[in-house]
Amino acid sequence: MQRNLPVEKYKRYLLLERGLSSNTIDAYMADLQKLVDFMEARNLSFTGIRLQHLEEFLAELHDNDIKARSVARTISGIKSFFHYLVLDGVIEENPSQLLEAPKIGLKLPVVLSIEEIDSILDSIDVSTAEGTRNYAIIETLYSCGLRVSELTNLRFSDLFFDEGFIRVLGKGDKQRLVPISETAIQKINNYLFYRQRQIVKKGSEDIVFTSSRGSAISRITVFYYIRQYAGAAGINKEIGPHVFRHSFATHLLERGANIRVIQEMLGHEKITTTEIYTHIDRSFLRQEIIEHHPRNKK
Q: What CATH number is attached to the domain comprising 138? A: 1.10.443.10
Q: Which of 92, 81, 70 is nearest to 14 (CA)?
A: 81
Nearest-angstrom CA–CA distance, 56 and 9? 26
- The per-residue pLDDT for range 230-281, each reduced to its tens digit, is 999 999 888 899 999 999 988 988 888 888 888 888 888 888 777 777 766 6
**Vertex 69: Cα angle to 81 and 85 (nearest 5):** 5
Nearest-angstrom CA–CA distance, 21 and 76? 17
Q: 54 is in which domain, residue-wise?
A: 5-87
Asked whether residue 100 is domain-assigned, the answer is no
Q: Structural domain tally of the chain? A: 2
Asked whether residue 132 is domain-assigned, the answer is yes
Percent residues over pLDDT 70 in the chain: 89
Domain match, 72 and 122 both: no
Instruction: Check pLDDT > 70 for residue 297.
Output: no
Asked whether residue 94 is domain-assigned, the answer is no
Asked whether residue 205 is domain-assigned, the answer is yes
φ, ψ (nearest 5 deg) of residue 176 = -150, 155
- The per-residue pLDDT for range 28-83, each reduced to its tens digit, is 898 899 999 999 999 999 889 998 899 888 888 877 777 777 888 888 889 999 99
Domain match, 127 and 212 both: yes
Q: Which residues are catalytic?
A: 147, 171, 242, 245, 268, 277
The arithmetic mean of pLDDT across residues 285-289, rounded, is 55
Asked whether residue 107 is domain-assigned, the answer is no
Instruction: Check pLDDT > 90 for residue 2.
Output: no
Greater pLDDT, 282 or 252? 252
Does this model's pTM top 0.75? My answer is no
